[in-house]
Amino acid sequence: MNKKPKVIVGLSGGVDSAASCIKLLEAGYDVEAMFMRNWDSALNNDLKGNPTINDDVCPQEKDYQDAKEVAEKLGIKLHRIDFIEEYWDNVFEYFLNEYRHNRTPNPDILCNKEIKFKAFLNHAFSLGADYIAMGHYARVIHTEDGKHYLLRGVDENKDQSYFLCQLTSAQIAKALFPIGDMLKPSVRALCASYGLKVATKKDSTGVCFIGERNFKEFLENYLPAKPGDIVDTNGKVVGHHDGVMYYTIGQRHGLGIGGEGDAWFVCGKNASLNQLIVAQGSQAELLYANRVIVRGVNIINEKFKDGTHLTAKFRYRQKDVDITVKWLDDITVEVKTMEPQKAITPGQACVFYDHEYCLGGGTIDEVYMNDIKRNY
């Protein structure tokens, strides 16, 4: 008899990973599961801004109990593994360093690259897995000629291909996404049909594997606040900030600036003077750009050519933007948008698409309107 392919699923205690287990069992795979613990609030000094710090049972332990209940109900083996050190060294240190440089990082992308599809994958293979599976809303195509393609999830509201843009073809070759062709209501209905309580569980939010936090207070655990002036585009002081790293481009709320006229919004940062630059509604054009330098570009399969017309997302859930591309070196791309785009933010990801196919992505580094560099 042919041996069934063995798949180890990242079982988080949520509905998506539970449904992934069900789909794989129904497809005839030999299924096991693994629960990852990647954050320790006490060890990592996660005190300020943590709404659950005084709870008798931490959210991670509740998630583990939910994962354990799912595994028992489905009759699959559940492993438990800690990647706390790997997460701190390879994800969180980068996250903090980006904020030190007044940029806005996306830890979910690095978490996928370094933890879910590296540390997790390596450990799963040490347990005899042929594949790993995650509850992402994305799809893969494995072709007979050895190519491995990443596609958007069918559910447009849940598509997570954006967060997978730094994966390599080798990582995708060993990955399955069982719910990538499903809509969220169907995922919940599938879990409910198996009598799983997680069918009605709320989706997790907040920082990857850390959860919901009062973000300003959370950062204060690790980065000292450096108050300074809020200035308008003429350099006039109009208020005071708690630290420029706490603010994002386009932000309108929480600035503490009153007075007459349109609402104020963040349009730039002057790191050398520790100034937050703001403008008013009539100056909204300062938020728009049509040229972006993207560094650290990862291409999953074939490298696209200069002048290629593609689409891109500069932030999650954004509608696709029509672009052309030009390579500046092996990992740096100049992206030009057909129409000016609002609040393109350094530190965030630019992800490239050709229709349904996610081609890869990199980190937004410099932002321009024509030849004028935005002071982001």
Buried-exposed string 142-178: b where 16+ CB fall within 10 A, e elsewhere: eeeeeebbbbbbbbeebbbbbbbbbbbbebbebbbbb
Tell me if residue 111 is catalytic.
yes
Catalytic residue among 208, 267, 350, 358: 208
The answer for residues whose C-beta is within 8 angstroms of residue 335's C-beta and 6 or more apart is: 291, 292, 293, 294, 312, 323, 324, 325, 350
d(CA 247, CA 191) in angstroms, rounded, equals 40
DSSP track, 349-366: EEEEEETTEEEEEEEEEE
- Which letter does DSSP use for residue 237 in this model? E
Is 208 an active-site residue? yes
For strands 321-329 and 148-152, give the pairing: unpaired
DSSP letter for 162, please: G
Instruction: Evaluate whether 8 touches 32 at the Cβ level (below 8 Å).
Output: yes
Active site residues: 111, 208
